[in-house]
A = this chain, B = another copy of it.
Amino acid sequence: MHSRDVFAADCPVRPIFDDITSRWATLVVGLLANRPHRFSELASAIGGISEKMLSQTLKALTRDGLVDRAVTPTVPIQVTYSLTALGADLATHLVGLVAWVDRHTDRIHEAQATYDEDTPVPPAVANRRRGGA
């Protein structure tokens, strides 16, 4: 039986979980689930990502054994990223979760709207993410 105490502050699954659910990791995995991609392909396919974040995300994923990094020593070096078997397995869960959110996004938006109406004071909560100014 597995099941460590996920609720313990030092539970080892937390950092890994953070890796794979990080803002960009999900999108990278989602893209690689279809087919291998080159660095620049990923960069242009994922709206709003910076090279730094892409590089960082890819490195973390590779380190976790979820993504495979293949270097082709052509004139301008070419690097292709793909999912490992482990990564592919994870991908199914991840895309499933994203699909769930996608399916329920409208309902959630309604809930948010209702909540914001019923909230007397200016909702500071609504500002989470998407930092203005």
Contact = CB atoms under 8 A, between A and B. Distances in A.
A102 B2 CA distance: 7
Contacts of A48: 9
Copies in the complex: 2
Interface residues on A, range: 35 or more
Contacts of A53: none
Given A27-B6, A46-B7, A107-B86, A97 B101 contact: no
A contact patch SS: helix
Interface in A113-133: 114-116, 125-126, 128-130
A108 B16 contact: yes
B93 A125 contact: no
A52 interface: no
Interface of A: 2-4, 6-21, 23, 26-27, 30-31, 45-48, 56, 59-60, 62-66, 86, 89-90, 93-94, 96-105, 107-112, 114-116, 125-126, 128-130
27 contacts: A2-B103, A4-B102, A6-B98, A7-B27, A7-B30, A7-B45, A7-B47, A11-B47, A13-B105, A16-B101, A16-B108, A21-B97, A56-B125, A59-B125, A62-B115, A63-B125, A63-B126, A64-B108, A65-B112, A66-B111, A86-B107, A86-B111, A89-B100, A93-B93, A93-B96, A93-B100, A94-B97
